[in-house]
Structure 1
């Protein structure tokens, strides 16, 4: 059967039927993942599975090329100029570009897109960082009355030459990185308005403030400039086909199907049979099931932009975790982790060698900072904590003037229910700490992830294993998030240091890269001493795919992309 000659809809039916094909057709890319697509409206998108589709249907002004994270390359913007004070950006826009609707791309589309992002900015979208750059606040007009239409309209304009002009209240060296994010993708203004979306005017903007666009008309009928356009979408799959008028040339693969397959075992079997070209796999140990096969490629040791850490909450707002609430061997005070000696002791008590061997399969890599090594400012020369019982003991003996060592404690640590790696990690720490002093007791307790997240946000966890994924490839998004006294994780850690705050705030507006890098290195060095987090070794990324799929290489993989292949669909082909 020559499946490639069937209609697109017939092809979809066959691929999704219980009678699976012997192999995915040569003109079709089949990807299988565990999570569904929440929306196809860029203004509401803020999760990896959703971004994996949006980044191929839409395009931003600028983007990364290949594996390079240090430079932004032109996409819908061909070039740009930044004023000497860093507060005005002027973009020249690409000519001859069409949306999937047939409409011609122009400055009005870019202006509408960015203004719409600011207007509809809500708690479940990632638009807060653009609002912060253009208006000086992460809030929307419903929460911040200083936001006016005049400010929004003045921040994003089109000049007489058809150039896009962005005016910032203060310089932001991370702006270009923010504009490369998938949720900054440019939408088709006229198409959106015709569908009933916001019409882009002052008269109606207030009715759209903070609006949830998950099920927007644009989500159901997207029109981008990407190499692929949507054919259909349901709860189980997304089908896209090559856009014949794509300005960058026709992709080599005609059809792409993204399937939602919840069971990892089913995804692995599909990969082995050739029913899927690329599949999502879980923890590293699963690779043993695929090694040695000539029809499957394992591309390993790829860059990982997540920052895995164990937070230590300095003001635990949960009596259930405190026991007696005192240093009497039966509990801990709420400020147990406010003593730097306690935090350092736990850092020394973490058996990183065993963790790397048993939990990451030997692939884990230690880091010196709460920052991916690929980012500006990472300092590989900074010292790290290593498993050292003597140093852990010495630090515990200093804590709270010797009371921790003399009286002991009972600490409860929660972890994600069902997470084998999480449980092993917590147990590893618990065993090491308890081995130091018979008066030390650590209770490990499983909790549903949704509850852990809400408890953490309310400052109700004592310690929590987490991994922060960068929204944009700039150190500000990681360092400020994790270490600033008003950063995203501050309510979870209650960590605050005036010196680190000063450096991180300064780095947000300094435009010279070398100066910024020096500030982040200083913050990293001080954070090592203060130990607000226990730094976890980072497991490198890996991809598994069929050997006849071409275009997935270390030089093409970019960790800022969300697709399973780590590159754009248009860059792939089959042999």
Structure 2
């Protein structure tokens, strides 16, 4: 029976015309291609949604809470009085998809592998900070990252417990371990397919290695409720794992289809050919509300921060045109002039974006931090759409040369993202109105290409967001504003004052003092206009009403569309 049902699922993935998705199958449509299925490299929400259902972490968020944790592959843990040693008792009777038994050796291998391969494209910098006292790897920081330090930081004791030893207290360690990137992989399986063998003899060969297209990404083996069946450029097919320790899920199959056109995705949802789709912005709701069989889960708090980046050191000559202030291009340091950044900030129509994209259900942010997070200061000043101010700052830029000669700016946005395209078009229109010599050329790019070129510093201007790895303001503010932050290669600015404030905040225990430091960060960032802050919309999910278990289990810390482990979902009639 399973083979027959799976064959039906595969036919659906191939595009067979069916009136509705079978009851034993969940079909999700997204526009973003999947960068990787190797947890060590998962650092985007599209890849994360799949990875967090194939693999499991030691701990996870409890129910809908973003602060309470519960054990997943760990059943309990103890913290030493000095806060530097964590001892995890691990779950027994757990199998990997390969059939291998889960043991402490797998947890030890997984976290050590993350510390060894840690690179600028992965999310392992923050676990490296906790366990090694540095965000770098052995190539970046050879004094701090040695085999002795890695093996001492992560090891199994004689009782089969995992012991993590930190150089300094980190109250956020447990929530960091709940992040998908710290999921436990199958050591025996990984080694058998050519991944790192876990030994001191070979570790240096794997330092900082790009694992996006690793053998483990192609052939994953986790302990999660779903295992990979096949993957191609348009479809990812997964099947419920019979040996799952938590009991076999009710949904036999999950199919993730990559469908670029928004209209196609919305039509599939309306016809019942998909259970969840990436809808795009709030205007899509007008096409879905009142449609029989579709349910709207609205009012989801916004747990992310988005901005238009202005790269101060653009590293792609193709983007620069002439590379000069001659009206035919821009210099690499175009956005290094604060007057240019302020002019662009005054050129964006924030209210129009809220009205058109968020249908009035959006708010301006004062800093790149969710307003529900500790440290957010609503009193920090914000920019408004003001063409006169924009023109005044453009006239000041580069000693008047920019206004006199004009420029051609080539900017990118994520392909098939209507909100991103609309935002960039609003900016383009308003800037080109100011001076006939100002030209902004927009280009859509596939998600994986967009991520790669932006992290290489090759994009002049992009719109991108940040979803939290863990619930702490440092995860946002350090990421966006510090010169060592994850997003710095996309923005390429260094502000000594911001670095000092953020470093100090990391070491400040007193909440009032820490909050004051973050207020100063917000004010300094406003004065320097490092980003154009996007208004935050209220989230929603449109889905087939036959799907059960979504709303009562929805957690904003999860990746992707469903906001859940798929194993908690079912369909009416099952």
TM range (shorter): 0.7 to 0.9
Q: Residue 276 of structure 1: which of 269, 274, 277 is its match?
A: 274
Query: Does 2:435 align with 1:443?
Result: no
Q: What corresponds to 1:177 in structure 2?
A: 175
Q: What corresponds to 1:311 in structure 2?
A: 309
Q: What corresponds to 2:74 in structure 1?
A: 77
Q: What corresponds to 2:249 in structure 1?
A: 251
Q: Give the whole-Å Cα distance in 2 for the aligned partners of 1:314 and 1:234.
A: 37
Q: Contact 1:350–1:432 (CA<8 Å) still a contact in 2? A: yes
Q: What corresponds to 1:547 in structure 2?
A: 545
Query: Does 2:74 align with 1:88?
Result: no
Q: Give the whole-Å Cα distance in 2 for the aligned partners of 1:41 and 1:465.
A: 26
Give the deviation of 1:561 after TM superposition.
1.8
Give the deviation of 1:546 after TM superposition.
0.7
Q: Give the whole-Å Cα distance in 1 for the aligned partners of 2:255 and 2:273.
A: 11
Q: Secondary structure at the match of 1:7?
A: helix
Give the deviation of 1:537 after TM superposition.
0.9
Give the deviation of 1:266 after TM superposition.
3.5
Within 5 Å, which residues of 2 pair with 1:256-271?
Answer: 256-271=254-269
Give the deviation of 1:59 after TM superposition.
0.8
Q: Give the whole-Å Cα distance in 1 for the aligned partners of 2:124 and 2:360.
A: 38
Q: Secondary structure at the match of 1:570?
A: helix
Q: What corresponds to 2:571 in structure 1?
A: 574
Q: Which runs of 5+ in 2 are unaligned?
A: none
Q: Secondary structure at the match of 1:24?
A: coil
Aligned CA distance change for structure 1 residues 167 and 21 (closer, same or farther; 3 Å): same
Q: Residue 150 of structure 2: which of 152, 159, 166 is its match?
A: 152
Q: Contact 2:334–2:340 (CA<8 Å) still a contact in 1? A: yes
Q: What corresponds to 2:65 in structure 1?
A: 68
Give the deviation of 1:349 after TM superposition.
4.1
Q: Contact 1:174–1:476 (CA<8 Å) still a contact in 2? A: no
Aligned CA distance change for structure 1 residues 507 and 321 (closer, same or farther; 3 Å): farther
Q: Contact 1:127–1:183 (CA<8 Å) still a contact in 2? A: yes
Larger gyration radius, structure 1 or structure 2: 1
Q: Residue 292 of structure 2: which of 284, 291, 294 is its match?
A: 294
- Higher mean alpha-carbon deviation, 107-116 vs 91-100, is at 91-100
- Higher mean alpha-carbon deviation, 57-66 vs 355-364, is at 355-364
Give per-residue Cα distances to partners, 1:342-391, cap 9 Å, x unaligned: 54454344322122222433333211111122433222343333334566
Q: Give the whole-Å Cα distance in 2 for the aligned partners of 1:39 and 1:337.
A: 32
- Higher mean alpha-carbon deviation, 498-507 vs 230-239, is at 230-239
Aligned CA distance change for structure 1 residues 316 and 58 (closer, same or farther; 3 Å): closer
Q: Residue 526 of structure 1: which of 520, 524, 542 is its match?
A: 524
Q: What is the TM-score when the length of structure 2 is the normalising length? A: 0.84
- Higher mean alpha-carbon deviation, 227-236 vs 276-285, is at 227-236
Give per-residue Cα distances to partners, 1:25-70, cap 9 Å, x unaligned: 2222222233444443322433333222221121101222343223
Q: CA RMSD in A?
A: 3.7
Q: What corresponds to 2:199 in structure 1?
A: 201
Q: Secondary structure at the match of 2:550?
A: coil
Q: Secondary structure at the match of 2:52?
A: helix
Give the deviation of 1:455 after TM superposition.
7.2
Give per-residue Cα distances to partners, 1:404-463, cap 9 Å, x unaligned: 599756244332266765565455445556767x6x853212245488877766767665
Q: Secondary structure at the match of 2:560?
A: coil
Q: Give the whole-Å Cα distance in 2 for the aligned partners of 1:337 and 1:229.
A: 46
Q: Contact 1:322–1:411 (CA<8 Å) still a contact in 2? A: no
Q: Secondary structure at the match of 1:368?
A: coil
Aligned CA distance change for structure 1 residues 140 and 367 (closer, same or farther; 3 Å): same
Give per-residue Cα distances to partners, 1:152-178, cap 9 Å, x unaligned: 111101223433222233344443333
Q: Secondary structure at the match of 2:466?
A: strand
Q: Residue 22 of structure 1: which of 19, 23, 35 is its match?
A: 19
Q: What corresponds to 1:475 in structure 2?
A: 473
Q: What is the TM-score when the length of structure 1 is the normalising length? A: 0.84
Within 5 Å, which residues of 2 pair with 1:124-523?
Answer: 124-146=121-143, 147-314=145-312, 320=320, 325=325, 340=338, 343-388=341-386, 399=396, 404=400, 410-416=406-412, 424-426=422-424, 428-429=426-427, 432=430, 441-447=437-443, 449=445, 463-510=461-508, 515-523=513-521
Aligned residues between the structures: 565
Q: Contact 1:348–1:389 (CA<8 Å) still a contact in 2? A: yes
Q: Secondary structure at the match of 1:259?
A: strand
Aligned CA distance change for structure 1 residues 58 and 432 (closer, same or farther; 3 Å): closer
Q: Contact 2:130–2:173 (CA<8 Å) still a contact in 1? A: yes
